[in-house]
Structures are given as structure tokens and as C-alpha cells.
Amino acid sequence: MKGRTELTASESAFPRYKAVAAHAVLVEFGEEIDDRVHARVLALDAAVCRFPFPGFLEVVPAYASLLVSFDPVVTDHRSVKAVLAKLGESADVWTAAPATHEVRVCYDEDMAPDLAAVSAVTGLSPEEVVNAHLAGDYKVYMYGFAPGYAYLAGVPEAIQRPRKEAAVRGIPSGSVLIAGPQCLVSTLTMPTGWWIIGRSPTAILDRRSDSRPFLFDVGDRVQFKRISRAEFEAGDTP
């Protein structure tokens, strides 16, 4: 097996531009989840949205990379790469100031089936796990997997757990999940291998809205707020 250092050394130049089929360029700024790397993703994302080029179709930010797709009838990889490289030179001036969103969470036992397990492995009491989760500084790194699945990073080290060996099925939407430094509030009933530590009535995905269907933009901050069962049952409106 090749060493990782060798692999990195031979391809160390970031940003790295990779052609994707006939219609996209993937721009990679790094290979790890890192706030500075992500800041570069956000900066180029904002610049491309602000100055769309002829043939531009869509830009998709991720943890450390950005996918820019285009109409191959209008332009090609080389032209798009040149535009992106140019935009990248002064990109960070266009980054939007992040909004902060409050996401309300009920941590009652029946809504947090894994709270006890996280407590047992970390040696913290369930109450301390909840407080640690509430104290985290969360940022929206990307959406992925399924509609409205916003990947937040910022889970405090004390309660970080690797994902479970196997996924558990039928986890209801609104579940507050953690794995490693990541946290996610699910929007569909789906299987998950992450740890379920609460449930939120805050709609990250609003099916009925066409004007603002998604609560967060990538780059936004999130503050979790503890609510009682009564408040949870009262629904989304604070």
C-alpha cells in the first residue's frame, strides 16, 4: 500500500482542478474537514454565484471541494477552469456574512435513544452530554446525502463518537444525530448509523415552501437550544 505522505506529496498543489465527464469541474482545496479549507470553498462558491459565466449551470459546495457544472455546448473544462482560477484570486471578498439559526432540541429519553450509550462510553452523565452538545460551536459545512441533510461540524471532543457498526432503520425525521465532529438534524425517515441524542421540531426542510424551503445556507452557524417535551409538542413555532 502506498503511503499517504507520498500520495499527498505528488499532488500537493491546491486548488486542484479535476474534469468531471463533459460537464463539470471539481475544485479541491484539501483532503480534510478543516475550517480554513472550507472558507476557501465558501469564497469560491460566493464568487461563482456572484459572477456566473456563460454556460454556468450549478455550483455545489462540499467540505473541501466545490463542483461547478456547465453546459458543454456553450463552454468547456479549460475555459471554466480559467474563469475559476481568476475568480479564486480575489474570491473571499464575496463571502456572505453567516447567519445564525436557533435549532430547538428536546433531549427527553424516548427522543434520545442513544443518549445513555454516549453517556456510558464517554463517562459523562446524560446531563453533561446534553450540555456539551449545547455548548458546541456549529457551522453548516455542506448539504448531502438527501434533501435538507445539512452536515454541521462542531461537536465538542468530549462527546465525539465514531459512527455505529451498522445502521438502524426507520429513524424519524427531526432526529438530532452525531458522529465524530459532525451533527445533523434529519429531514426524512431513514436508516442511520449515527448516534441519536435528541429530536427537534425545527424544520430544516419545509416541504410546503417554494420560496425558502431550506433553513440554512452553507456557511451559516447553528445554535442548539434545549426545549421541554411540552415545547416540542407545541411544534416548530418558538
Q: Enumerate the β-bridge partners of residue 182.
A: 153, 179
Q: C-alpha cell of 42?
A: 465558501
Query: Is there binding between residue 31 and another protein (CB under 8 A)?
Result: yes
Closest CB 217 distance from another protein, rounded Å? 9
| DSSP strand pairing (100-105 vs 150-153) | unpaired
CB nearer to another protein: give 19 or 124. 19
Q: Does the footprint of another protein cover residue 171 (CB under 8 A)?
A: no
4 binds another protein (CB under 8 A): yes
Q: Which is nearer to another protein, 47 or 64 (CB)?
A: 64
x/- site string to another protein, residues 179 to 208, per CB under 8 A? ---------x-x----------------x-
Q: Does 77 engage in binding with another protein (CB under 8 A)?
A: yes
| Of 85, 99, 135, 146, the one binding another protein by CB under 8 A | 146
Q: Which stretch binds another protein (CB under 8 A): 95-103, 121-129, 147-155, 193-201?
A: 147-155
Residue 214: which residues within 8 A CB-CB, separation 6 or more? 143, 148, 150, 204, 205, 206
Q: Does 227 bind another protein (CB under 8 A)?
A: no
Among candidate residues 43, 78, 73, the one with its CA nearest the CA of residue 59: 43
Question: Which positions from 125 to 144 touch another protein by CB under 8 A, shown as an x/- string?
Answer: -----------------xxx
Give yes or no for residue 167 binding another protein (CB under 8 A): no
Which residue has 413555532 as its cell numbers?
237
Query: What is the contact surface with another protein in residues (CB under 8 A)?
Result: 1-2, 4, 7, 11, 18-24, 26, 28, 31-33, 57-67, 69, 72-73, 76-77, 142-151, 188, 190, 207, 210, 213-214, 218
